Amino acid sequence: MTSVLLIDDHPIVLQGCRHLLEDAGVSDLMEAQTALAGYRLFRRKRPDVVIVDLALNGSGLAGLALVRRLRAQAARMPILVFSMHADPVIASRALEAGATGYLLKDTSPDDLLEAFEKVRRGQPYISHDLALEVALLGTRGRSGVMADLTPRELQALALLAEGKAYGQIADELGVSYKTVANTCSQLKAKLGATNLAELIHRAIQYVAGAPAGRMKN
């Protein structure tokens, strides 16, 4: 019997995943709505498969850090990231962090079951719409405006896209206000923003909206 841990802060997503997996014969399902609760449940129950979102409770891309923690604890455990982020750089970062597969949330139920079955068997899986772009990143090196961003910069950018102020971002990431201010200054330089308003606009475009390659100037 395969046990599955679902980590997502959207009850509807959790319910939908549960129903699909139960219909596919999975009966041992656990749920968590925060990264901390998910990690504690993982440590206590040691599930066979983890399905995790990248954005948990408004914490930007904090799911990346959770994937790293899970992978550090279980080198071979299947981890499927189930995310709204369609940027190939973010998908690539999730795979580098230790995810076995990466699936977009606007996928079909059949794709979810296919991804689950492949990941459960230890096989890699990437959403069809992203597979080629992620492969190209691997063969020619990263390109594009988000390619040179550090994990902290990606998290800060995601939180800016959600409308968070510097102080809130500092609390979410567990760093000082000054660190956030410095990080955002680096983001302005990398993304060509002259002020905070422009940086927030770019954050919404790159993270909350269309992938970078499909942006309109």
What does the pLDDT look like over 56-67, one tens digit per residue? Answer: 766 567 788 899
Domain limits of the chain? 3-140, 151-212
| Angle value at C-alpha 86, between 80 and 87, nearest 5 degrees | 110
pLDDT the model gives residue 54: 87
Q: Does residue 169 register a pLDDT over 90?
A: no
Strand blocks (E) in the chain: 3-7, 28-32, 49-52, 79-83, 101-104, 125-126
Q: Does residue 104 register a pLDDT over 90?
A: yes
Q: Does residue 216 register a pLDDT over 60?
A: no
CATH annotation of 151-212: 1.10.10.10
- Distance from first CA to last CA of the chain, Å, rounded? 51
Domain 3-140 classification at class level: alpha beta
Question: Average of pLDDT values for 79-83?
Answer: 94
pLDDT the model gives residue 180: 93
Strand blocks (E) in 35-164: 49-52, 79-83, 101-104, 125-126
Type of residue at 135? A
